[in-house]
Amino acid sequence: MKKKTITTEVRIPADWQKLGIQDIMIRATATIDDDGDEVRVLMKQILFPGWHCFNLKPGYQYQVYELVEQKCIDAYVNEMDWEVDLYDTICHE
């Protein structure tokens, strides 16, 4: 089983916000548990700039959480691919 902590930035669309002037960037930290059959995400922290966590339109909180969770999984997969590529480069030269 692989367990890894991932931190990534996620863009929240302006139309998900009450005062949707521009997209905002948030930072998310999660622990990813990968047992080969299933990938589980344990969200540790989601940081919004300033007061923007109160600026989400009603009903969008779940969509934000799903988006953040998926972006953490994507970041984990990219990091694992990078580590495999690095290993192949070092070991097969």
Q: What is the DSSP letter of 42?
A: E
| 21-62: pLDDT as tens digits | 899 999 999 999 988 888 899 999 999 999 898 999 999 999
Q: First and final CA of the chain: distance in angstroms?
A: 28
Residue 79 or 72, more confident: 72
**Would you say 63 and 16 are in contact if contact means Cβ atoms under 8 Å apart?**
yes
Residues shown for the chain = 93
- Residue 79 pLDDT > 90, yes or no? no
Phi-psi category of 50—alpha, beta or left, where left has phi over 0 and alpha has psi -120 to 50?
left
